[in-house]
């Protein structure tokens, strides 16, 4: 049933250009020349050079190039994925996990990112389960956890348009039961997808990943405060409060502590 | 160890509350504490201290083998370093804890520390016990050495003289290397004992040890004395030749050394509580040691071909699941190897070459029995055999070579030759392997040898942002907003059309004002008949459209009446009638009736519009 529903959602939405996770886009192996029809040649050059540096084993250079793309405003799941790989190869476990999580926020069904995240998590030292929603919730609200926000937006638009069209047709064919139930189903679809979109925008939990090998978690936001506990690189925790220089995090067992912002990779 | 629980069931528990004695003890424990400590020390024989600051005392310095000695080292003051005991190679030393005493005598404060030990002699003889050393306030102090005599008086053979003792024995003391030797440890007791545990039963690295079943309990009579016996059996497999000394096994057990109540005293109600709660009496911890044992392990003769380490008594059997089959069909060859001895080394015998068969090996089944008096085991090896050619075929005997310790030489056992008759297949070759795969499929779990991350992505999607930006965002916005707007427009139109369809005059009423004003803008202002007719028609059409009447057929008085019915103020209705009459008069050339000069204003756009708007406001305001 869930598969059928996903098929319907994705089937409808896939008709809209740019909805799918762009698996069929061409592989970029050479930096394009200036006269080629790239809308942003500079990111393309960085992309190719970053990939080349990664393949050559120069992971620090790959990280630098990928990060430069990020600073230019490029933000997509593939970039975060490659960045995660480069971080992991460079030995920066926390940044790698944070990058994989960012990748999965944009490509939630990407199996490679899921696999690499699982691989990276095995290197984390703390025995703390990553903050994940319960399986029951993930099953019941499968679309919420299977679609990226941008996909939800497109789905809302497409399903919403279909809903209005069906309503319009119903004005002239009021006796049609098919149209009636179609409009009801489409309305439910719009509400579900729209609700997910709102939840993503307003209520999505902010996750933080520990970046240094070990950090102190203080009882209050300040260096002089009592150190309540320590966490190690790669541990994923939930952010409950943010200040300019300090972030308050919460462990799955409810323990809370403050850390300096620079020690955490915030995934929001 | 399991022995602990078993022993605890043999007698009353030591931890039971001794009824009224507990109450009495609770009241006097503080007062009696110091006195008890002093009396204990008085009972002990002091061994000439060399320094007053450190004193070593033992409860006795002449004991029999199997007994134990309580030793106390008392240090006045606080030692700067841990106490150093003298070398005691002929004793097992068990720490019994320490005690600190503090006293205030004549205003002077003093403290001392007492270390308690239990010495268990391991052999008979006279042994010098060296000085114990301590450092107090930076000064090293030593106790005076003393001597302990251990006599072999309480001979192990005089079992009837003792209440409890342990023994250890071997099934043979001259085994071959790898031969199974049964080690039997027994604990004999004829007094109530509490909890007990075997604290050391270590056989070293030169012996492989296998447990043989659980601790056995039984009653045994030695020289006419009945004992409760706990027995532990182990199978030992010496791994090297030469003399092997098995260390002593030490048992720690709680023993009741004093009855709870004197037989002469009359029983009271508190005695019943004693019985209920486990009884009283005084308990002591006893350490029992076995005698050391020695194995004289004989080396094995030169190794023959095919021997894979088995020492003991073994056999081998083979059977084929079917003797008649077609080419391509399968039969299962089952070879069982088992026996008594070092069955851990049971391995696959050398299968003969069988070029006339396809052979599919299967996982072996192993079964080692540790519950009996000796270690036995059996292993089953299976092969799925698929004949490739027709005709009489045979499986040659399969040999098993092992060393027989009884004979002192290597022996060989063989299976019988197995004949089978293979006929040509009916049709094409059909491999029927299900028979051999049924018991155990032969499949093995996939082992992950190494893991790594998946490679990077090279897709062009990596250089564009995932979220729509710029004009794409506007396209999505418009695409999202347009459908509902269009639907609302369509809905409005649809509803209006339905209302028009339901009320045929509605469209005329709604459009009356607009049409009249539009026509008034185009009227030719003037006093001529043409202008008057045009203006009259406009007003009449308006009144007719607005009230749902045939306007062009209205007379001025009908118009006034209809307007009055529609709720229009009488003055306005009269004005309308008057204006229509004047226009009609002008239309038909009755200028005098029309009133001459004012007609131009009434036929003007402004005049008509004013009249029409005035009527429209009245009609609209009074509509129910």
Chain A residues with CB inside 8 Å of B467's CB?
75, 149-150
Over residues A56-73, mean pLDDT: 93
Which pLDDT value is given to residue B271?
A: 52
Q: Within chain A, where are the H helices?
A: 2-14, 41-55, 59-71, 77-89, 93-106, 111-121, 135-140, 142-146, 149-172, 177-198
In a shared domain, residues B170 and B63 = no
In a shared domain, residues B288 and B323 = no
Which pLDDT value is given to residue B111?
A: 82
Judged against a pLDDT cut of 80, whether residue A248 lies above it is answered with yes
Answer yes or no: is A163 within a domain.
no
Please list the rounded mean pLDDT of every run of 10 residues in chain B (624 residues).
42 39 39 40 42 80 79 83 85 83 75 86 85 84 86 54 82 90 89 79 81 83 81 89 85 72 50 48 77 88 87 91 83 89 84 82 81 86 84 88 91 90 67 46 70 88 79 83 92 89 82 87 71 84 83 79 86 87 76 55 78 84 52
Chain B CB within 8 Å of residue A69 CB: yes
Least trusted range by pLDDT, from A6-10, A94-98, B39-43, B322-326: B39-43
Chain B CB within 8 Å of residue A103 CB: no
* A261 touches A249 (CB < 8 A): no
The token pair that represents A179 in the structure block: 């149209």
CATH number where A256 lies: 2.30.30.40
Which pLDDT value is given to residue A156?
A: 92
Shortest Cα–Cα distance, A58 to chain B (Å): 14
3-state secondary structure of B158: coil
Boundary-marking domain end, from A90, A121, A152: A121
Which pLDDT value is given to residue A36?
A: 47
Shortest Cα–Cα distance, A110 to chain B (Å): 12
Least trusted range by pLDDT, from A162-171, A188-197, B170-179, B473-482: B473-482
Which pLDDT value is given to residue B36?
A: 40
* Nearest C-alpha neighbor of B369 from the set B343, B349, B346, B348: B343
Which pLDDT value is given to residue A14?
A: 42
Over residues A40-45, mean pLDDT: 73
Which pLDDT value is given to residue B10?
A: 42
Which pLDDT value is given to residue B280?
A: 54
Q: What is the pLDDT of residues A210-247, one digit of tens each?
A: 999 999 999 999 888 888 999 999 999 999 999 999 99
* Nearest C-alpha neighbor of A77 from the set B268, B321, B465, B98: B465
Answer yes or no: is B413 within a domain.
yes
Between chains, do A28 and B460 touch, taking CB under 8 Å as contact?
Answer: yes
Our count of domains for chain A comes to: 2
Distance CA A236, CA A264 (A): 9
The token pair that represents B542 in the structure block: 């308006």
Residue among B456, B468, B484 whose CB faces A150 most closely: B468
Boundary-marking domain end, from A121, A136, A168: A121
How many residues are there in chain B?
Answer: 624
Which pLDDT value is given to residue B207?
A: 86
Which pLDDT value is given to residue B215?
A: 82
Q: Which structural domain, as residue segments, surrounds residue A96?
A: 31-121
CATH number where A85 lies: 1.25.40.10
The token pair that represents B337 in the structure block: 């190897």
Kindly compute the dihedral angle of the four CA atoms of residues B156, B157, B161, B167, in this order, to the nearest 10 degrees: 50
Which pLDDT value is given to residue B140?
A: 84
Over residues A174-184, mean pLDDT: 89
CB count within 10 Å of CB B569 equals: 16
Chain A residues with CB inside 8 Å of B489's CB?
none
Q: Above 0.85 for ipTM, yes or no?
A: no
Boundary-marking domain end, from B410, B437, B464: B437
Q: Which structural domain, as residue segments, surrounds residue B209?
A: 159-297
Judged against a pLDDT cut of 90, whether residue A161 lies above it is answered with yes
Mean of all residue pLDDT scores within chain A? 85
Name which residue leads in pLDDT, B504 or A134: A134
Distance CA B539, CA B559 (A): 10
Distance CA A147, CA A12 (A): 14
Q: Within B262-380, where are the H helices?
A: 269-277
Boundary-marking domain end, from A87, A121, A155: A121
Which pLDDT value is given to residue A57?
A: 92
């Amino acid at each position: 049933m869930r598969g059928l529903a996903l098929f319907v959602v994705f089937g409808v939405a896939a008709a809209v250009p740019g909805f799918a996770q762009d698996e069929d886009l061409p592989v970029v192996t050479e930096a394009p020349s200036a006269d080629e029809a790239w809308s942003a040649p500079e990111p393309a050059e960085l992309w190719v050079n970053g990939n080349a540096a990664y393949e050559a084993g120069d992971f620090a250079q790959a990280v630098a190039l990928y990060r430069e793309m990020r600073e230019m405003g490029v933000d997509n799941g593939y970039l975060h994925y490659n960045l995660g790989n480069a971080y992991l190869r460079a030995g920066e476990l926390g940044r790698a996990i944070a990058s994989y999580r960012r990748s999965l926020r944009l490509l939630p069904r990407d199996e490679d990112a899921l696999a690499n995240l699982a691989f990276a998590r095995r290197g984390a030292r703390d025995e703390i389960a990553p903050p994940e929603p319960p399986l029951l919730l993930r099953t019941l609200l499968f679309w919420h956890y299977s679609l990226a926000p941008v996909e939800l937006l497109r789905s809302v638009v497409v399903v919403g348009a279909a809903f209005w069209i069906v309503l319009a047709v119903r004005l002239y064919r009021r006796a049609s039961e098919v149209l009636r139930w179609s409009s009801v189903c489409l309305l439910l679809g719009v509400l579900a997808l729209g609700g997910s979109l709102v939840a993503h925008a307003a209520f999505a939990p902010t996750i933080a990943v520990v970046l240094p090998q070990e950090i102190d978690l203080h009882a209050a936001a300040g260096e002089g405060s009592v150190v309540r506990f320590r966490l190690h690189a790669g541990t994923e925790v939930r952010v409950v409060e943010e200040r300019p220089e300090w972030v308050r995090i919460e462990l799955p067992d409810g323990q809370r502590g403050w850390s300096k912002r620079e020690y955490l990779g915030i995934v929001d | 160890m399991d022995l602990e629980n078993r022993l605890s069931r043999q007698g009353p528990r030591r931890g039971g509350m001794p009824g009224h004695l507990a109450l009495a003890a609770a009241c006097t424990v503080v007062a009696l504490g110091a006195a008890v400590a002093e009396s204990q020390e008085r009972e002990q024989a002091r061994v000439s201290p060399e320094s007053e600051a450190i004193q070593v005392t033992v409860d006795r310095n002449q004991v029999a083998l199997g007994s134990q000695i309580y030793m106390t080292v008392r240090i006045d003051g606080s030692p700067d370093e841990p106490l150093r005991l003298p070398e005691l190679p002929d004793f097992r030393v068990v720490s019994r804890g320490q005690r600190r005493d503090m006293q205030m005598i004549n205003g002077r404060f003093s403290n001392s520390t007492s270390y308690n030990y239990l010495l268990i002699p391991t052999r008979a003889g006279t042994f010098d016990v060296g000085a114990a050393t301590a450092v107090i306030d930076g000064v090293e102090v030593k106790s005076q050495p003393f001597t302990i005599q251990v006599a072999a008086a309480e001979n192990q053979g005089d079992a009837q003289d003792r209440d409890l003792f342990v023994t250890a024995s071997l099934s043979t003391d001259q085994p071959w290397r790898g031969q199974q030797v049964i080690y039997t440890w027994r604990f004999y007791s004829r007094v109530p004992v509490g909890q007990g545990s075997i604290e050391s039963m270590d056989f070293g690295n030169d012996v492989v040890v296998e447990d043989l079943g659980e601790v056995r309990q039984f009653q045994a009579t030695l020289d006419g004395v009945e004992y409760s016996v706990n027995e532990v059996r182990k199978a030992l497999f010496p791994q090297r030749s030469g003399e092997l000394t098995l260390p002593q096994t030490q048992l720690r057990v709680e023993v009741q050394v004093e009855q709870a109540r004197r037989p002469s005293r009359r029983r009271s109600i508190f005695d019943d509580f004693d019985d209920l709660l486990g009884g009283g009496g005084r308990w002591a911890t006893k350490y029992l040691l076995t005698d050391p044992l020695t194995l004289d392990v004989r080396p094995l003769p030169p190794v023959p071909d095919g021997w894979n380490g088995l020492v003991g008594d073994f056999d081998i059997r083979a059977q084929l699941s079917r003797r008649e089959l077609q080419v391509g069909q399968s039969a299962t060859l089952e070879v069982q190897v088992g026996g008594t001895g070092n069955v851990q080394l049971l391995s696959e015998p050398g299968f003969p070459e069988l070029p006339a068969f396809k052979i599919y090996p299967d996982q072996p089944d192993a079964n080692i029995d540790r519950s009996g008096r000796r270690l036995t085991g059996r292993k089953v090896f299976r092969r799925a055999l698929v004949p490739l050619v027709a005709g009489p075929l045979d499986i040659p005997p399969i040999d098993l070579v092992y060393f027989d310790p009884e004979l002192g030489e290597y022996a060989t056992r063989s299976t019988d030759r197995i004949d089978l008759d293979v006929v040509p297949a009916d049709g094409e070759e059909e491999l029927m392997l299900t028979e051999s795969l049924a018991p155990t499929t032969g499949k093995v779990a996939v082992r992950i040898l190494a893991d790594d991350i998946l490679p990077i992505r090279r897709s062009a999607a990596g250089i564009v942002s995932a979220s729509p930006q710029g004009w794409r965002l506007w396209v999505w916005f418009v695409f999202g907003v347009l459908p509902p707007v269009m639907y609302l427009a369509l809905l409005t139109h649809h509803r209006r059309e339905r209302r028009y369809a339901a009320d045929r005059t509605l469209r005329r009423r709604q459009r009356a004002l607009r049409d009249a004003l539009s026509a008034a803008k185009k009227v030719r202002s003037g006093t001529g008949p043409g202008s008057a007719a045009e203006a009259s028609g406009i007003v009449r059409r308006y009144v007719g459209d607005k009230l749902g009447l045939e306007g062009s057929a209205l007379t001025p008085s009908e118009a006034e009446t209809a307007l009055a019915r529609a709720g229009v103020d009488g003055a306005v209705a009269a004005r309308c009638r008057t204006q229509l009459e004047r226009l009609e008069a002008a239309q038909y050339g009755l200028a005098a009736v029309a009133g001459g000069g004012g007609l131009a204003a009434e036929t003007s756009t402004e005049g008509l519009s004013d009249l029409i708007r005035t009527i429209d406001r009245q009609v609209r305001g009074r509509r129910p």
